[in-house]
Amino acid sequence: MTEDNPVVLGAIIAPDSGQADELLAWAVEACRAHGKQVRGVLMETPPHEAGQPRPKAVLRDLHTGESYSILQDRGPLSRGCCLDTNVLSRASIVLRRAATEKPDLVIVNRFGSSEAEGEGFTEELLALIEAGIPLLLIVNTRYLEAWRHFNGGMGDEIACEQTSVAGWLDNRLGVGAC
């Protein structure tokens, strides 16, 4: 935390998640290389399997390595959100555990549609912020207004580029990642 902003909350703002997911993974490694304890969940997309309508997405626990497959297979004709909220609920324990462990940084894969509606990881995000634990996540540009409303202007908005993320890590956590 810093004196001018007691809440250390960074959001990588991105129109899509591919590059942002890579930046978040890079931030994890940069922090660990500087001896920082990092907890949370990171989105990963395993290689696409033939015959699968869409790549499976998993959340990986950064501490234990456990993976949570968060997309339901609703068949080839399904449309709309296929997020498995039951699995997301099970993955939320990773963030609740992080709130008690007090790591140097918590990574959350994203503030997305569920969080914009007050669901998903909303309670866990609030607990982490209240505990004063630095937090870094991704916000898709479609949820930017909901994100701003959620954080009440306390968060830093970070451009989706490595130099911007490195600057935030250095400024907010003292990680000279450049």
Tell me if 109 is assigned to some domain: yes
**Closest Cα partner for 10 from 148, 152, 158, 178?**
158
pLDDT tens-digit map of 24-33: 999 999 999 9
Question: What pTM value is reported for the model?
Answer: 0.85
CATH of the domain at 83: 3.40.50.300
Q: List, for residues 49-71, the tens digit of each pLDDT value.
A: 666 555 567 889 999 999 887 65
- Number of folded domains that form the chain: 1
Is there a domain that residue 140 lies in? Answer: yes
pLDDT band, very low/low/confident/very high, at 2 (cuts 50, 70, 90): very low
Domain enclosing residue 65, as ranges:
9-173
Domain annotation covers residue 106: yes
Average pLDDT over residues 119-144: 94
Domain membership flag for residue 3: no
